[in-house]
Structure 1
């Protein structure tokens, strides 16, 4: 992993000045061992309003807070539902009763449900609506009560429908910010964003800066509204999307709306609909924040939990997971990627811990209208290059192969890498041709399935190409500053130092087994 170590060495100079960059007073490691940031004390008795809590990452946030800070006063959980009863049922079915919360259940035993329902308050609403869809009396109560707003709502697929992405990722944060301005006791608005807000033209080291940088504004190929998107800009884009819908037949609606999103994103200089709509959401927050203190936490590709509350928990297929599972099932033997590029992935629990640390710091020290950006990433402090990453895929499936329809182990070969689409597609067709030559009536259906899968593989390769072929990495000076400020006890309880990730252990023994256990529902997987 020599490429990764070189990048890690480059971060030393930055780390030496990290306290200055973060506006921290360097009191010395010995004193910090006792003082710390005050993660627990800062959140004692606080009232928090969380969006996106029924999503994968939001659930990890909601689990962590009451488990480690049980003296938090209350957590309002925004849930899309037709009424209060339906919202309460979703809270129970999708949060309280799921396996992720088993550690808290063990802690409180027969009192578990009472404890959780006392801390979590389901709120019927939707960030896509101008008033968040809140019932007026409840809205007033929250405005009088809430001290921290944490927005983790988002549509995360790269090729999301344009109308859906705009509503959730762009309009949603704006609506929530408007609500925040009416909250009487608000101390912090924390927006969970993504490093994927990067533009196509970004290369090299990407700093923890706002979306609207001087370099962007100086780029004459982009008009100013692309970096200062007023609400009218988003409204016009929504109108464009809705007008376009009227021209599409129902059976083509999803496909065409996804294509429209990709087209508009690329026209404005972004990689895909996700990065474009998330960037717009950030910009609207930056431009309209007023006196609200803001923290923007940009995480890289969030995968399964590493250690907390237990290793390998995941919901849904994330980022590299389609490639992992297709490889394990024998559908592909390689992929389009530059083996020397760094892949920036990170376990969900480390992201949550970093967010809570940033939240605690800025509750106490942020001035009105201040905005602080954190990259919660691995590409500089603990990088792994794609060559090493896919080698770990091979290591896992070689030792614990998946089974075919007959119950026989699927043997995988060393993962192949291709740096051009032409070479990758040619490889796919060579494999199909080889299978056709050997084909019998018993495996003809498998051959047909493999031919159909070629289009899917090409689509995924095109979607991931900007991430798998480009050379860039994300600066994490501000996050390193948080870690330096934390006490030893906080580092144990809210550990967010990505240098602690042992990639071989995480990918081989934690993440892929987690995928197989929680997504594919396989049983009997052993830790290697």
Structure 2
């Protein structure tokens, strides 16, 4: 990293050029070790560091999947900023998204933020007097899966009934999203529809490459430890109405149409 920075500065690179060069270097470093980007790479590094330095201290690791807006607390639909799939919801609601790269039958793994917090609190209590080390996967892909092809339909239904009002005070019309099931199809679509060159360096292609490791992930996450934690909490007479974190309780259609997308519209879209 220092060598790269020195070379850029010797060449008189601007701060903007340095920022993009460092991002590119970080991505290459991550992919070298098997991670698609620096975000997940540094999360893995942090976890490895904890395992290496834990000594005799019992360690609990919580691995949530995609965290979405709150299910109930502090109130339904609260969210701060647009991340991962939520950024696409914002762009779609503003009428700027007409296609999306994904495996339509792929499972998207989501957990509301308050469920993640509740699981962390219960895990903290469960492990307080234990000597063992444990990893909890917090996700919905096994117990209550939802597939990518459902998301555009829910988005269309919500924003058609509740259109975003633009700066001119006019409601924005949305259309149904086309799901493209391969990178080749994605690039071909971009060429035919928008006359963008079939090159890797187009910004749209970069977005496709960014999401590719996730939208084509043919996997679900083992949540056996979390299921055991749920059972132990119920047997220990934990107030599950207060410390709820069972993804099986989520009605995805109701949550997305009445909680999550309204939360996106209220707290994120400007």
Give the drift of 1:387.
Answer: 0.6
Residue by residue over 1:16-39, the C-alpha shift from the partner in whole angstroms, topping out at 9 and shown as x without a partner, is: xxxxxxxxxxxxxxxxxxxxxxxx
Structure 1 counterpart of 2:174: 412
Alpha carbons 2:59, 2:133 under 8 Å: kept: yes
TM-score (norm 2): 0.89
Give the drift of 1:476.
Answer: 0.5
Give the drift of 1:425.
Answer: 3.5
- Unpaired segments of 5 or more residues in structure 2? 196-200
**Partner residue of 2:160 out of 398, 401, 405:** 398
Q: Counterpart of 1:269 in 2: which secondary structure?
A: coil
Q: Aligned partners of 2:77, 2:122: CA distance in 1, in Å?
A: 23
**Partner residue of 1:383 out of 145, 149, 164:** 145
**Partner residue of 1:484 out of 207, 226, 231:** 231
Q: Aligned partners of 1:429, 1:323: CA distance in 2, in Å?
A: 21
Structure 1 counterpart of 2:267: 518
RMSD of Structure 2 on Structure 1 (CA)? 1.8
Q: Aligned partners of 2:83, 2:105: CA distance in 1, in Å?
A: 22
Q: Aligned partners of 2:229, 2:151: CA distance in 1, in Å?
A: 28
Larger RCO of the pair (alpha carbons < 8 Å, separation 6+): 2
Structure 1 counterpart of 2:5: 245
Q: How does 1:5-404 map to 2 (within 5 A)?
A: 241-248=1-8, 249=13, 250-364=15-129, 366-367=130-131, 370-404=132-166
Give the drift of 1:519.
Answer: 1.6
* Cα separation, partners in 2 of 1:335 and 1:398, compared to 1, 3 Å: same
Q: Counterpart of 1:247 in 2: which secondary structure?
A: helix
Structure 2 counterpart of 1:463: 210
Alpha carbons 2:103, 2:182 under 8 Å: kept: no
Q: Aligned partners of 1:253, 1:512: CA distance in 2, in Å?
A: 37
Give the drift of 1:503.
Answer: 0.7
**Corresponding position: 1:506 with 2:258:** no
- Unpaired segments of 5 or more residues in structure 1? 1-240, 434-453, 522-528
Larger Rg: 1
Q: Aligned partners of 1:283, 1:350: CA distance in 2, in Å?
A: 25
TM-score (norm 1): 0.47
Q: Aligned partners of 1:330, 1:415: CA distance in 2, in Å?
A: 10
Give the drift of 1:268.
Answer: 1.3
Alpha carbons 1:336, 1:461 under 8 Å: kept: yes
Q: Aligned partners of 1:380, 1:303: CA distance in 2, in Å?
A: 17
Q: Aligned partners of 2:119, 2:54: CA distance in 1, in Å?
A: 23
Q: Aligned partners of 2:97, 2:118: CA distance in 1, in Å?
A: 35
Alpha carbons 1:327, 1:334 under 8 Å: kept: no
Q: Aligned partners of 1:506, 1:381: CA distance in 2, in Å?
A: 16
Q: Aligned partners of 1:304, 1:247: CA distance in 2, in Å?
A: 43
Q: Aligned partners of 1:349, 1:303: CA distance in 2, in Å?
A: 9
Residue by residue over 1:268-304, the C-alpha shift from the partner in whole angstroms, topping out at 9 and shown as x without a partner, is: 1112112222112111211221011110000001111
